[in-house]
Amino acid sequence: MANHEKRRQEDAKKKAKSNTRAKSGAGSKNVGRSHAQSSAGKPGGSGQRGPSGSKGPQRSHSKAHPTAKPASSRAARRTGASDSPCPVDARCGGCKNLCVPYTKQLIDKQLRIERLFAPLAPDGTISLIKGMKDPYHYRNKVISPFAPGKKLPPRGQDRKATDARAAKGGKGKRPQARYEILTGMYAAGSHELVPTDKCLIENETAKKVVLAVRDIMRKHDVAPYREDTGTGFMRHVVVRIGHTSGEVLVTLVTNSDDFPSSKSFCRELIRLCPAVTTVVQNVNERQTNVILGDKERVLYGPGFILDELCGLSFRISSKSFYQVNATQTEVLYRAAMDLAGFDGTQVAIDAYCGTGTIGLVAAKSGAARVIGVDSVESAIRDARTNARHNGVENAEFVAGDATDFMCELAKESVLGASEQEEGAQAGGLVVLMDPPRAGSTEEFLRAAAALAPKRIVYISCNPETQARDVELLDSIGYAVVAVQPVDMFPHTDHIECIVALEPADALSPDRWGKEGGEEDAAEEEAPDDEEAPDGEVDESAELADVAADPAIDEEVE
């Protein structure tokens, strides 16, 4: 009995020692590796966008899984990588600045604008950037592609058909292979689809609609599009949300016109997402990166949604241009109208007008007359429809190249200084311009200056090309009187900026400060130890000044 008890105690000690070694190994290596490998790329895993996913411009920056051993020292050196609130930040990389505190993002963007425009803008003319109070889930337009994932085992009738074919020696109809359906966004610089369930900057309702479409595709065996072969049916879904109205437009982009299950598909979508007010099928049969095709048909509802912006109602269809951040668009447009200074007497030219949003806001904000021009005929049709819809009678829209249009006006002097003395033109001409990222043309800018406008209000999504164009305007007699940056896309590097210019010879010398005369220099002289050498800027002091400004903190509180 004593020997038996002794053996039992020795066995217990060996078992305890073995368990201790197993736990130690799992905690230090095996568990972390297993979790990283099993969850990557699977729904709900580290490769799947979790409760705080992100989307934005296609950029790439990697990070290690927080519970896994870093893949390399290079990845471990990424600043703030492990602190990202987005589980697919490393693979998606859309929100480049997601780990940067929002106040710091605004400071960085402010300094960027100041460096660009300091040589052109007098002291005191560059205002603080207008940020968002809640810089999340602001994208009211969500575009998600579909792609096949891993092959799935056959189910139900497919399994029976497979067995029957095997019994016949491989003869008979081969069941259609089933694949996992992925939706999300492409990783930077690739066509690798990163699956996402949630996103920090996309509208939450829109994201739910995207996932509902994916689930219905699975239920109805709707094949996702395969880029390499041009096969499959569902290419993209585009969801647009009315910021004020809450109406939801869903555009299903398909690879062929035939959609036999469209009615049941729509019924299921409305059941899962009651907020959806209209569904459109867009047909794109081309092997191209362009998302939308030319042919469309309405599957459910009116085929468009309505939304309000700056007190105006806009009709939005699948192809309409409409800013994706409606909250900041209102901030942008109100700032532009303040800088334009309309008082009921000015004529406004809305160049690169798109669907007429800026021009129509100007027509309601004190412009006596608005003339909009854009080269996209469908946009001009939308602009005219929006004008009628809002009862705006003092705005007209012309389809044509903005440069050609402006050069023709300058050549004919239709709105020149000689005609600014009567009636509605007594207040002069204001040029509103919002060109594409590439900026305007030299011909346009020279023609605009030749019309002698009282003010030019230049809105741009690319401050670099804007600064280039402003420098040309400065060289031909138009000086900067105000610069107003607006943060339209938090957590990215993108900045929207407004610059107002006026004829330099009409400005008071006080705007430019005192010239360097001896008497003025004596009055302005500062202690030697507080003054930087000529031509040098202490950027650390500049950053501290901006960071200490309470106005920036107010923007994000």
Q: Which residues are catalytic?
A: 461
Nearest 5 degrees, angle CA 209-CA 212-CA 218? Answer: 150
Distance from the first to the final alpha carbon of the chain: 77
Interatomic CA distance for residues 423 and 221, integer angstroms: 66
Query: What is the SS3 assignment for 440?
Result: coil
What residue has token string 């004529």? 347
Alpha carbons 333 and 358: distance in angstroms, whole number: 7
Contacts of 536 (CB under 8 A, 6+ apart): none
Residue 222 · residue 146 · CB < 8 Å: no
State the residue for tokens 């362009």: 290
Phi, psi at 210, each rounded to 5°? -55, -45
Q: What is the DSSP letter of 425?
A: G
DSSP-assigned letters across all residues of 313-349: EEEE-TT----S-HHHHHHHHHHHHHHHT--S--EEE
CB 420: neighbour CB atoms within 10 A? 21
Give strand pairing partners of 431.
349, 456
Nearest to 71 by CA among 37, 96, 28: 37
Amino acid at 98: L
C-beta of residue 212 within 8 angstroms of C-beta of residue 277: no
C-alpha of 390 from chain center:
27
Environment class of 302 (CB within 10 Å of its CB; exposed 0-12, middle 13-18, buried 19+): middle
In 380-444, beta strands by DSSP E: 395-399, 429-433
Answer yes or no: are the C-beta atoms of 60 and 93 closer than 8 Å.
yes
d(Cα 79, Cα 239) in Å, to the nearest integer? 34
Q: CA-CA distance, 360 to 458, in Å (whole number)?
A: 16
